[in-house]
Amino acid sequence: MKPIATTRSATGVPTGRLAVWWLLASEVVIFGGLLGSYLMMRLGHPEWADAAMHTNTWLGATNTFVLLTSSFTAVLAHQAAEKGDGKKAAGLLVLTIGGALTFLAIKSFEWYTEISHGYTITANNFWSFYYTAAGLHALHVIAGAIIMGFIAWDAFRGKELQRVELIGIYWHFVDVVWIFLFPLLYIAK
Amino acid sequence: MSDTAVAVQHDERHAHDDHHHGPQGILKYLWSTDHKVIAMQYLFTGMFMAVIGGFMAYVFRMQLAFPGISVPGFGQVSPGEYNALVTNHGTIMIFWVAMPVLIAAFGNYLIPLMIGADDMVFPKINRLSFQIFLLSALILLASLFVQGGGFGGAWTAYPPLSAVGEYNQTELGSSLWLIAVALEFVAFLLGGINFITTLMNARAPGMKAYDIPLVAWMIVIASILFMLSVGPLIAGAVMLLFDQTLGTGFYDPARGGDPILWQHLFWFFGHPEVYVVLLPAIGITIDIIATFSRKKVFGYKMMLYTAVATGVLSFFVWAHHQFVAGIDPRMANVFTVTTLLISVPIAELLFVIIATLYGGSIRLTTPMLWALAFMAEFLLGGVTGIFLGASGADIYFHDTYFVLAHFHYTFFPIAIIGSFAAFTYWFPKMFGKMMDERLGKIHFWGTVIPFNFIFIPLFVLGMGGQHRRIYNYQHFPELASAEMYNLREMATYALLVMLAFQLVFFFNCIKSWMNGKAAGRNPWQSNTLEWTTESPPPHGNWPVDEMPNVYRGPYEYAHPDREEDYWPQNEPS
Amino acid sequence: MSDENNRNDDGQHDDDHHVNYTKIYVTLLILFAISVMGPFIGEITGIALITLVTAFGIALVKANLVIQNFMHLRWEKKIMKWMLTSSLVVVALFVAGVAPDVYNHEGDNWENLAAKAAVERGIAGGEHDAEEDHAEEEPAVEVATAGFNAAGSYVMICAACHGAEGAGDGAAGALLDPSPANFTDPTFWSTRDDARIKTAIRDGGVSVGGSALMAPWGALYDDEQLDAMVEYVKSFNPTGE
C-alpha cells in the first residue's frame, strides 16, 4: 500500500529517520525560541529569583530521573527491534510510556500544589514562562506517548519494527529538552 | 537499485493496485492521499482565499479614495471594520494565498512528478497537512464573523494592541486569528517535512542532485527556511495567546514583560518568510524561461548556491522592520549593512535569468509573459527596498505608503504573477487541455498594466508622508489635498480595472477545461519528467513498470548533438 | 521490514554501534546526581560558579551523551549533524540579535523605563510573596506600591499626547481634535476635581464626556497607583492646587 517513493533512499538514510530528524530540527528552534526568550528575560529581571525560589527542585529532579530512565528503556526497545524481537521491543516501549505517565502524574501533582499556593500562570512573568515552557514540553510528552502506543501495538505483532527507532529518537529529544528545562526552571534560583 | 529492487517494487505495487486504486466517487476529491489531488485542494482553497483577500482590498481602497462612501457590496466602512479589512487582507494574502499556491499546491503537484516518483513519501501525512490547513482557513474566516468582528491589529499583531481586548475591541476575533495562523504554521511544518524528504530520497534512479529542476529545489529550500525560522514565532504566538486569554503579561511592560520581544519574535520569522515565498516564484520563473528560451539555465549551480546564500542571509536582516521601534541603535547599524548586502545575491539571481534569456529562441507564450513580468516588476520592488534598508532613510519612510508600495511591488509579482505563471504553464499537464492563448494574453495585460497604476501613486503618496493604517485621510489636513486624493482615486480605479480583468481568467479556465484543445503529453516541448507522462497523470503517475530513469540534467535545450532542440531527462540517448 | 534498514543504510547501523547503553545510562545518572548536589555545594562554599557549571555544564554533557549515543548521531550521516547545528545556530542568532533590546535595559541613548521600574519594584518589594492574596488580585499587576514611579508612567504613557510638561503639546497629540488637555492651563483646573481626573485615566475620555481618543488605562494600574498619577498630573497646575 505504500508508494514506491517511500521505499527509495537516494541519500542512504531511511526516509522515516530523515523525516524525524527534520521534525526535530524545527522543534529545536521552537523550544530554542521559547527558552531563549525566557533566558533573556530572566537574566534581565533578577527580581524573578523570588518567584523561582518556589519551584520544587525535588519533584523536578525526580521527573528528570524518570525521563532519563524512560530514554534508557526506549533505546533498549530499539535494540530489541533491531534484532527483530517485536514483543520485547513492545514491552520496553510500554515501560517507556509508563515513564511518560509517571512524569505527567508527578507534574500534575506539582502544579496542583503550586497553583493552590497561588503560583498561577498569571502570578508573575516567571510563572508565566514556567507553565508555558513546561506545558509545551508536557504536550510533546503526551503526543509522544500516544504515538508510541500505536507503534508498540504494531511492534507486538511484529510489524513496522523500524518505527521503534523513530519514536525513540523523538522520545530522546523530549528528554533532552527536559535536561535543559530542569536547570533553567528549578536549579537556577 | 536494479532488477531485484524493481521486482520488489512491482510486487508491492501489485498489492497497491489490487485493493487500493485510491478512494472512489466523491471521496476521491475529499479523502485522497494522491499528491495531485491534494495539490488541487490547496490550489482551489488558495484561489478562493485570494478572491476574499481581493474583495477586502476593493472595499478598503474604495473607502480610502471616497471616504464615507457606502461601498457597493459591503456598505459603509467603520474604522474598526477598516482595520479588520487591512489586517486580514495582509494575513490572508501571505498565509492563505501565497504559501498554499506557490509552495503547497505546486510543490505537491510537481515534486513527485519532477523527480520521477509515484507520490510523496508520506501520503497520509500529506493529507493531514491539508486538513489542518483547511481547518486553519475556516477558523480565520470564522474570526471575521464573531462578535466584535475580525482582528484589526495589523498582520504584525504588535502587543499591547493585540494582547489586550480592551484596546483592540475584538477579543474573540483576535484569538481566533492567532489560532488560525498557528495552525497554518503546523500544516506547513508537516508539509515541509514531506517535500524535503521526498526530494532527498525518492528520486528516480540516475537523478543526481544537480539533475533536479530548479523549481523543485527552490520549493524545498523555501521549506527548510520556513522550518528553521518559524520556531520562535510559534513560541511567541503561544505567549501572545496566553496574554490574550489567560491574562499573562509576557508583553506587558507594566508587569516586566516586553512588547519589543514580540516584534523580534515576529520579524525573526517574518523576514525569512518573504524569501520563503520568493524562492518558489523565482524557481517557477526560471523553469518557464528556460523552456521558452530553448536554452540551458545560464548558471544552474550558481542559482542553487545563490538561493541558499539568500536563505542564510535572510536570517540576518530582520530588525530592519524595527528601525524606529526603539531597538538599540547600534543594532540598527548592523541590520542596515546586512539588509543592503542581501540585495546582492537576489540581483545575481535576476542576472542569471537575464543571461538565460540572452541569445535564446524566445517563444512569447502566456506563461513566458508572466515570467518576464515577474522579473520586471520584482526588480522595481527590490530596488525600492534599498531605500528602506538604509536606516536613516527609513526614519522617514517607516509606516508610510512607500513601504506598502515596496512590498506590493515584491509580493504581487511573487504571489499573483508567479501563481499565474505557474498556473498557465502547468494547466495543460493538470487538466489535459490547453488554455486559450488570446484570452490568456488579454488577462495578462489587463492585470499587469493596472497593477502599476495602483502602486506607483502609492509610492508618491508615501514620499509625500501618507502614513499607513489610517482609515480616513480627511482627518489629516496635509494629507487631504486634492492632489493626494487624485492619486488615491487613480489607484482605486486601477484596482477596479484589474479586478474586472480577472473575470477573463476565470472564463478562460472554465472554457479551456471544458473545450480546450487536447494538450498531449508535452505541449511546451520541455525536458522535465512531468512532461513524459499523460496529461493529467494517472494515479501513480506512470505505469508501474515504466517509472522513469534519468540520464541528464533538466535544461538540455539546443544541444548540438541533437536534431530536436530539447532532450527529455528520461530518454536514454 | 528490517530488510529496509539494511538495504537503505550505509551498513554501519547494524554492526558498529553497539555501545553499552547501560553504561551510558549509569553515567547519565551519576551526572544527574552531581547536578542536583551542585547548588548545595555552591551555597555552602559561596561559589556561585559551581552551581552554574554543575547545572548547565552538566546539562550540556548529558544532552550530548543522549544525542550521540541514544539518538545515534555519532553514527549518522553528516547531513543530520548539519541540520542540528543549523537549528542551534539559528537559535543562537535569535538570542544574539534580541538580547540587546530585551536583556539590556539601556543602551546608546535609550532606557527601558518600564523594565527598570519592574526590577526596582521587585527588589524593593523583596519577599512580597505570592502566597497571600493572589487569587483575589486583579490580573493586571502584582506590585509593591512603595516602588511605583508615577512620573515614569507619565513619561511612558501620557507625555506623547499631553506633552512632557503637561502642556497638551505632545507630538502625537498635535493633530488630534479635540486636542489633548493642557494641564498647565488654569481654566482646565477650574472645572476638574481629583475624582474626574482619576476616572478619565482609568476608564478613558468617553467616561467623562470627553474624547474617545483618550484611551482607558485602568487595566495597567491599581487604585493606589491611579491616585499617585492624579497627584502627579496635578503637579502641572500652575496655580499650585
Measured from the Cβ of residue C16, the count of other Cβ atoms closer than 10 Å reads: 11
Q: Which of C21, C90, C130 sits opposite A51 (nearest CB)?
A: C130
Helices B214-229/A15-44 angle, 10° precision: 40
Asked if C136 and C182 sit in the same domain, the reply is yes
**CATH number, position C236:** 1.10.760
Of the pLDDT bands very low, low, confident and very high (cuts 50, 70, 90), residue B25 is confident
Q: Specify the residue for cell string 507522462.
A: B533
Q: Which three cell numbers stand for residue C92?
A: 543562537
Considering the domain boundaries, does residue B14 fall inside one? no
- pTM for the model stands at 0.86
Q: What is the mean pLDDT of chain C?
A: 78
Is a pLDDT exceeding 50 seen at residue A23? yes
Domain that holds residue B432: 34-546
Cβ contacts of A17 on chain B, cutoff 8 Å: none
Return the pLDDT at B372.
98
Q: What is the DSSP string of C196-219?
A: HHHHHHHH-GGGGTS-TTS---TT
What backbone phi and psi angles, to 5 degrees, belong to B208?
Answer: -85, 175
Decide if C59 is inside a domain: yes
Nearest-angstrom CA–CA distance, A54 and B269: 34
Using one digit for the tens of pLDDT, what is the confidence trace for B267-325?
Answer: 999 999 999 999 999 999 999 999 999 999 999 999 999 999 999 999 999 999 999 98
The arithmetic mean of pLDDT across residues B531-537, rounded, is 96
Q: Can you list the alpha helix ranges (DSSP code H) found in chain C?
A: 2-8, 12-15, 21-45, 48-52, 58-65, 78-102, 113-125, 150-153, 159-162, 186-190, 194-203, 223-234
The verdict on C119 and C222 lying in the same domain is yes
- Please write the tens of the pLDDT for every residue from B73-113: 999 999 999 999 999 999 999 999 999 999 999 999 999 99
Quick one: B314 exposed, middle or buried, by C-beta within 10 A (0-12, 13-18, 19+)? Answer: buried
Establish if C167 belongs to a structural domain. Answer: yes
Q: Of B112, B197, B249, which is closest to A15 when you measure between CB atoms?
A: B197
pLDDT at B562: 87
- Arithmetic mean of pLDDT, C137-151: 52
Is the pLDDT reported for residue C174 higher than 80?
A: no
Residues B450-457 have a mean pLDDT of: 98
Q: Which of B155, B186, B185, B14 is nearest to B89 (CA)?
A: B155
Look at chain B and report how many structural domains it folds into: 1
Spell out which chain A residues touch chain B, with contact meaning CB-CB distance below 8 angstroms.
1-11, 13, 15, 18-19, 22-23, 25-34, 36-37, 40-41, 45, 47-48, 121-122, 124-125, 128-129, 132, 136
CA distance B498 to A73: 63
Which residue spans within B302-400 are E strands per DSSP?
Answer: none
pLDDT of residue C205: 81
Q: Work out the average pLDDT over C166-176.
A: 76
Within a domain: residue B350? yes
Q: Does B19 have pLDDT greater than 90?
A: no
Q: Domain count of chain C?
A: 2
Residue pLDDT, tens place only, A113-138? 999 999 999 998 999 999 999 999 99
Contacts of B165 (CB under 8 A, 6+ apart): B171, B174, B244
Residue C205 and residue C158 in one domain: yes
Average confidence score pLDDT of chain B:
93
Q: Which residue's C-alpha cell is 538570542?
A: C95
Q: By mean pLDDT, which of A134-143, B246-255, C103-112 is the weakest?
A: C103-112
Domain boundaries of chain A, sorted by first residue? 57-187
C107 part of a folded domain: no
Q: Answer whether residue B561 shows pLDDT above 90.
A: no
CATH code, domain carrying B233: 1.20.210.10
ipTM > 0.85 (yes/no): yes
Same domain, C125 and C221: yes
Task: Please tell me the least confidently modeled range out of B40-44, B61-65, B135-139, C9-13.
Answer: C9-13
Tell me if B242 sits within 8 A of A132, measured CB to CB: yes
User: What's the full length of chain C, in residues?
Assistant: 241
- Domain check: are C64 and C6 in the same one? yes
pLDDT tens-digit series, residues A61-108: 999 999 999 999 999 999 999 999 999 999 999 999 999 999 999 999
Residue C80 within a domain: yes
Tell me the average pLDDT across C193-206: 86
Please indicate, yes or no, if residue B2 is contained in any of the structural domains: no
A37: nearest CA in chain B? B261
In this predicted structure, the answer to whether residue B408 has a pLDDT above a threshold of 50 is: yes
pLDDT tens digits along B351-406: 999 999 999 999 999 999 999 999 999 999 999 999 999 999 999 999 999 999 99
pLDDT computed for residue C126 by the predictor: 56
Smallest Cβ–Cβ distance between B254 and the set C87, C100, C220 belongs to C220
Q: A136-140, B209-213, C85-89, C191-195: which has the minimum mean pLDDT?
A: C191-195
Under the banding of pLDDT at 50, 70 and 90, the label for residue B241 is very high
Rounded to a whole number, what is the distance in Å from the CA of A80 to chain C's nearest CA? 12
My answer on whether C128 and C91 are in the same domain is no
User: Across the interface, do B238 and A6 touch by the CB < 8 Å criterion?
Assistant: no
| CB-CB neighbours of B20 under 10 Å | 12
Q: Report the percent of chain B where pLDDT is more than 90.
A: 90
Please report, for residues A38, A103, A113, B104, C34, the alpha-carbon distance to residue A59 in angstroms, rounded to integers and kept in the order given.
21, 10, 11, 45, 16
B7 pLDDT exceeds 70?
no
Contact between chains at C100 and B327 (C-beta distance less than 8 A): yes
A3 Cα to chain B: minimum distance (Å): 6
- Flag if A188 and C55 touch (Cβ within 8 Å): yes
Is the pLDDT confidence value at B217 over 90? yes
Spatial distance between the Cα atoms of B220 and A80, rounded to a whole number of angstroms = 35
Q: Is the pLDDT of residue B13 over 50?
A: no
CA pair distance B288, B523, nearest whole angstrom: 13
| Lowest mean per-residue pLDDT among A82-86, B6-10, C193-197 | B6-10
What contacts A158, CB < 8 A, 6 or more positions away? A86
Last residue of a domain, one of C67, C102, C137: C102
Min Cα–Cα distance to chain A from C17, Å? 10
Q: Are residue C128 and residue C233 in the same domain, yes or no?
A: yes
Q: Give the pLDDT of residue B140.
A: 98
* B166, B254, B328: residue with CB nearest C108: B328
Euclidean distance between CA atoms B144 and B331, whole angstroms: 38
Tell me: pLDDT of C216 over 80.
Answer: no
Show the 3-state SS of B152-211. Answer: CCCCCCCCCCCCCHHHHCCHHHHHHHHHHHHHHHHHHHHHHHHHHHHHHHCCCCCCCHHH
Arch. (CATH architecture) of A57-187: Up-down Bundle (1.20)
Which helix (H) or strand (E) segment is C106 a member of? strand C106-107
Q: How far is CA B231 from CA A132, A184, B249, B272, in A?
A: 15, 19, 21, 12
Distance from CA of A29 to the nearest CA of C (A): 6
Kindly state whether residues C94 and C124 are assigned to the same domain.
Answer: no
**Which of A12, A32, A54 is opposite residue C77, by nearest beta carbon?**
A12
pLDDT digits (tens, 9 = 90+) for B164-210: 998 999 999 999 999 999 999 999 999 999 999 999 999 999 999 99
Q: Which residues of B352-366 are buried (b: 16+ CB within 10 A; e: fewer)?
A: bbeebbeebeeeebb
Cα gap B54→B451, rounded to integer Å: 13
Contact (CB, 8 A) for A103 and A181: no
User: For the residues of A10-63, what is the DSSP string, one character each?
Assistant: TTSS-HHHHHHHHHHHHHHHHHHHHHHHHHHHHHH-GGGHHHHTTS-HHHHHHH
Q: Nearest CA to CA, how far is C2 from chain A (Å)?
A: 6
State pLDDT tens for residues B123-152. 999 999 999 999 999 999 999 999 999 999
By residue range, what is the domain housing residue C201? 112-241
Which C-chain residues 128-167 have CB contacts (< 8 A) with chain A? Answer: 128-135, 139, 142
